[in-house]
């Protein structure tokens, strides 16, 4: 069986752990718990008759004051940068994270995830600006960890891409 390592990056509180929890366990909790270090989960998917096991490395939230440990990305098939569409700053931070990651692993596919689509968009970025920024990434997917909207698709896309 194929095993693929996927890392999930992003600023604090954008919903990285919730995305993984929704994908792996199908549940969402309103309770907020900060991830410390890294939390690893796995889920098996079937792609065109082939089984793929995704090992999801949910990294702790990254902000401008604390960098992240680039070693965690070593050997990753892909990584996801999650931002929160209710916080304008999260997109800027997400772009910073992308550039930091690219510095060490320029060839690894990076997925851009705009999370919390169940809430009204309240950042000041226009759709065009978001799409413009998304060009730096392999793909842009808008998700809601709460409703599960697009979550399955996100990881299926990554699994497909990883093959």
Partner 1 sequence: MTDKGPTSAPVDDSLDKIRELLIGRDDKYIEDKLNRNAKGVVSGVVSEALLDRETKDGSVNKVLVPLVEKSLHRSIEANSDKIVGTLYPLVGTLVRKAVSAFLVDFVEKTNALIEHSLSPKSITWRFKAWQSGVRYSDYVASQVYQYQVQQLFVIHRETGTLLHTVSSDPQKSKDADLISSMLVAINDFVADAFSPSKAAYDNELGEIKTDDFTLLINLGPQAILVAAVIGSAPPEIRGKFQLALEEFHQFYQKPLLEYKGDNRPFEGCGTLLNDCLVSEKKEAKQGKKKRLAGTLLVVLAIVSLLTLAFFRIELALLQNNIDTLPPEPGIVLSRTEINNGKIHLRLLRDPAAPSAREWLRRYGVETDDVSISESSFVSLHNAVIETKLLNLISAYPSLSIAREEANNLRLSGSISAAQYSLLLQKVNAIPGISQLNINANNITIPPVATDNSATLSAALAKQIASEVSGITLNFKKNQNTLAVSEMEKFNRLTLLLTQLQDVAHQINLSVAVFIMGASDRSGTTAKNKTLSRARADNVKNLLVSNGVDESLLLPMGLGSLPLNENAMGRTVFLNVLISEAKTTEDKNP
Given the rule CB under 8 A, which residues bind partner 1?
1-5, 37-38, 40-42, 52-53, 55, 57, 69, 71-72, 74-77, 162
Please report how close the Cβ of residue 21 comes to partner 1 at its closest, in angstroms: 15
For partner 1, which is the closer residue by CB, 72 or 155? 72
For partner 1, which is the closer residue by CB, 37 or 49? 37
Please report how close the Cβ of residue 40 comes to partner 1 at its closest, in angstroms: 4
Please report how close the Cβ of residue 159 comes to partner 1 at its closest, in angstroms: 11
For partner 1, which is the closer residue by CB, 35 or 86? 35
For partner 1, which is the closer residue by CB, 3 or 88? 3
Please report how close the Cβ of residue 124 comes to partner 1 at its closest, in angstroms: 35
What would the 3-class secondary structure string for the chain be?
CEEEEEEEECCCCCCHHHHHHHHHHCCCCCCCCCCCCEEEEEEEEEECCEEEEEEEEEECCCCCCCCCCHHHHCCCCEEEEEEECCCHHHHHHHHHHHHHHHHHCCCCCEEEEEECCCCCCCCCCCHHHHHHHHCCCCEEEECECCCCECHHHHHHHHHHHHC
């Amino acid at each position: 069986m194929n095993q693929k390592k996927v890392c999930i990056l992003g600023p604090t509180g954008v919903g990285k752990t919730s995305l993984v929890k929704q994908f792996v366990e199908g549940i969402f909790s309103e309770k907020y718990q900060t991830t410390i270090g890294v939390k690893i989960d796995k889920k098996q998917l079937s792609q065109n008759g082939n089984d793929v096991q995704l090992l999801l490395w949910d990294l702790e939230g990254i902000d401008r004051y604390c960098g992240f440990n680039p070693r965690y990305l070593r050997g990753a098939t892909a990584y996801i940068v999650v931002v929160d569409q209710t916080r304008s700053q999260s997109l800027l931070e997400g772009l910073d994270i992308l550039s930091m990651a690219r510095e060490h692993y320029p060839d690894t596919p990076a997925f851009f995830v705009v999370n919390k689509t169940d809430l009204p968009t309240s950042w000041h970025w226009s759709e065009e600006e978001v799409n413009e920024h998304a060009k730096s990434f392999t793909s842009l997917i808008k998700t809601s960890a709460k409703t599960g909207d697009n979550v399955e698709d996100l990881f299926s896309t990554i699994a497909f891409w990883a093959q």
